[in-house]
Amino acid sequence: MPRRVDHRERRELLADALMRLAATRGLEGVSLRHVAAEAGVSTGMVQHYFRTKDEMMTFAFGMVMDRVGERSRAAAEPASPRALVRGLLLEILPLDQTRRLENHVVLAFLAYAAVKPSIASELREVAARTRDFLAEQIRTGGAADPERAAAGLLALVDGLGLQLLSRQCEEDDAVAALDAQLALLFGAEPR
């Protein structure tokens, strides 16, 4: 009897290989052949799952965003608006090896999308969903001007992420800066 192939698992295997390469090489110089070698599979297998590099990159970016969302939901118990916002933003910050790798991928994807507008639509959709989620939590938490507050929090986390990746900032300081901004939005955290 032939073995059943989990196509999602194969696509994730290839996307993980792409992410490892993106973190060390950036995306410009990465080809389907490089991804195949990194994953230990044939180039034909990569081409079976992804017709183009752009398609593979878009899948990998979406996979990173899905993983961030899953981790943030799991970490935000109890699920108060503040906890949900903090949980998501902490998962975006490069505070451990997994999140550093993901941040390298996101940065590489952003740089690539800046010169390849055809793939930038995925970024816009993810950014809009993230802003909408944050704004809804901020609105539920009673803070004023939730759309601008959400945009400001994302800008803060983007900046802190860059500082962490370039070692301009310590992890504790980045978390403290985020918590200070959350205190401004939601008030002092209950003890």
Q: What distance separates the 2 farthest-apart alpha carbons in the chain? A: 61
Q: Is residue 9 part of a domain?
A: no
CB neighbour class for 110 (10 Å; exposed up to 12, middle 13-18, buried from 19): middle
Q: Is residue 1 part of a domain?
A: no
Place of tokens 């752009």: 54
The answer on pLDDT for 26 being more than 80 is no
Report the run of H or E that residue 191 belongs to, with start and end: none
Q: Is residue 49 part of a domain?
A: no
Q: Is residue 27 part of a domain?
A: no
Range of the domain at 62: 54-186
Whether the CB-CB separation of 61 and 27 falls below 8 Å is answered with no
CATH number at residue 132: 1.10.357.10
Q: Is residue 93 part of a domain?
A: yes
One-letter amino acid of 26: G
Q: Is residue 61 part of a domain?
A: yes
Q: Is residue 5 part of a domain?
A: no
| 90 vs 97: CA distance, rounded Å | 13
- The domain total for the chain is 1
The predicted-structure confidence for 51-101, as pLDDT tens digits, reads as follows 888 888 888 888 888 888 888 777 666 678 998 899 899 999 999 988 988
**Which is more confidently placed, 75 or 130?**
130
